[in-house]
Amino acid sequence: MKMNDRILVEVTVVGKDRKGVVADVTHFIFKNDGNIEQINQNVINGLFGMQLEASFYHYNFNKKLFDTELKTLAKKLSMEVKIHYQEPKRLKNIAIFVSKESHCLLKLLDAKVSGKIKANIVVIIGSENTNNTIAKKYHIPFYHIVHSMQTDAENEILDIMDRYNVDIIVLGRYMRILTPNFVWRYPDRIINIHPSLLPAFPGAYAYVQAYERGAKIVGCTAHFVTEDLDQGPIICQESFRVGQKDTVDSIKERGRKLEAVTLLEAVTLYLQNRIEVNWGRVVINDHAADIATKKKS
């Protein structure tokens, strides 16, 4: 089957763990003449999550009927089902999540304006209200979402993501931990920037830890978010050497600049369809870069 002859559908299923869910969903795919490309499932504290990617031929696929029947199956299983269609010809919609810091946000917004990234930045979510003025300057809707319980915040955010038909979520120093209930709905579609060369120095105070431990090389990591904190597949990493005269503040400042560049690199690779995740490991496809080089020559 050629790529342009098929429709790729991503289905995520989340709900209270019970028997028969995997069998019923996969049977539904086969009944509709679909071919399962990838499937992954997990259970954490009684919460079941499944991610499934299936392909269908264009000529015999009824999108409206497929959506209706799958929603009916979801009610029967008492599960929440999310359907995402991969449409290569449509510009992807990006949501950026931020807290107080703005360096990553500004880098992405400037890249959009200059044409470095080919996508629509459709909404900005803030756990703090600090970056609201930046969103207004770039004429992008901003939502300040804060709740005492992260699950309540995520429920509100999920509604916003559906409203704006978000394809990819970028965490530009979003200082909240996303729950499995949220992450499972966007498999390999949430990109985070972490201020450390993972897996070392996990958590929010990586630069302080690096300074206190006398690290000679520090950096940052752009990775996909999974239910395991700071353990998702690594997309790209950058680093710099720490000099004798460096302080915590100078390391942080150098780190912030590198974070913005590295996060933009990861987002760009994703938008160019050059990233594949195989068994928890990111593979960068250089085919697109080779084509561009041949055109220039």
Last residue of a domain, one of 46, 69, 86: 86
Q: Are residues 257 and 134 in the same domain?
A: yes
User: CATH number of the domain that 238 lies in?
Assistant: 3.40.50.170
Q: Are residues 107 and 176 in the same domain?
A: yes
Q: Are residues 82 and 97 in the same domain?
A: no
State residue 4's pLDDT score: 57
State residue 200's pLDDT score: 67
Residue 35: phi, psi to the nearest 5? -115, 120
Please pick, among 5, 17, 24, 230, the residue that the annotation labels catalytic. Answer: 230
Task: Please name every residue paired with 276 in a beta bridge, in sequence order, or none if there are none.
Answer: 283
| 110 noted as active-site residue | no
Classify residue 209: in a domain, yes or no. Answer: yes
Classify residue 297: in a domain, yes or no. Answer: no
State residue 271's pLDDT score: 94
All residue ranges of the chain with pLDDT < 50 are: 1-2, 288-297
Q: Are residues 67 and 144 in the same domain?
A: no
Can you tell me the distance from the alpha carbon of 119 to that of 98, in angstroms, rounded to the nearest whole number?
A: 18
State residue 202's pLDDT score: 61
Q: Are residues 45 and 132 in the same domain?
A: no
User: Which pTM does this prediction carry?
Assistant: 0.82
Last residue of a domain, one of 86, 105, 138: 86
Last residue of a domain, one of 52, 86, 120: 86
Q: Are residues 104 and 120 in the same domain?
A: yes
Q: Are residues 139 and 161 in the same domain?
A: yes
State residue 181's pLDDT score: 87
- Structural contact between residues 109 and 102, judged by C-beta atoms closer than 8 angstroms: no
Q: Are residues 78 and 110 in the same domain?
A: no
Residue 127: phi, psi to the nearest 5? -80, -15
- Domain hosting 79: range is 3-86
Q: Are residues 112 and 206 in the same domain?
A: yes
**Tokens 């880098």 belong to residue:** 107
Q: Are residues 31 and 76 in the same domain?
A: yes
User: CATH number of the domain that 22 lies in?
Assistant: 3.30.70.260
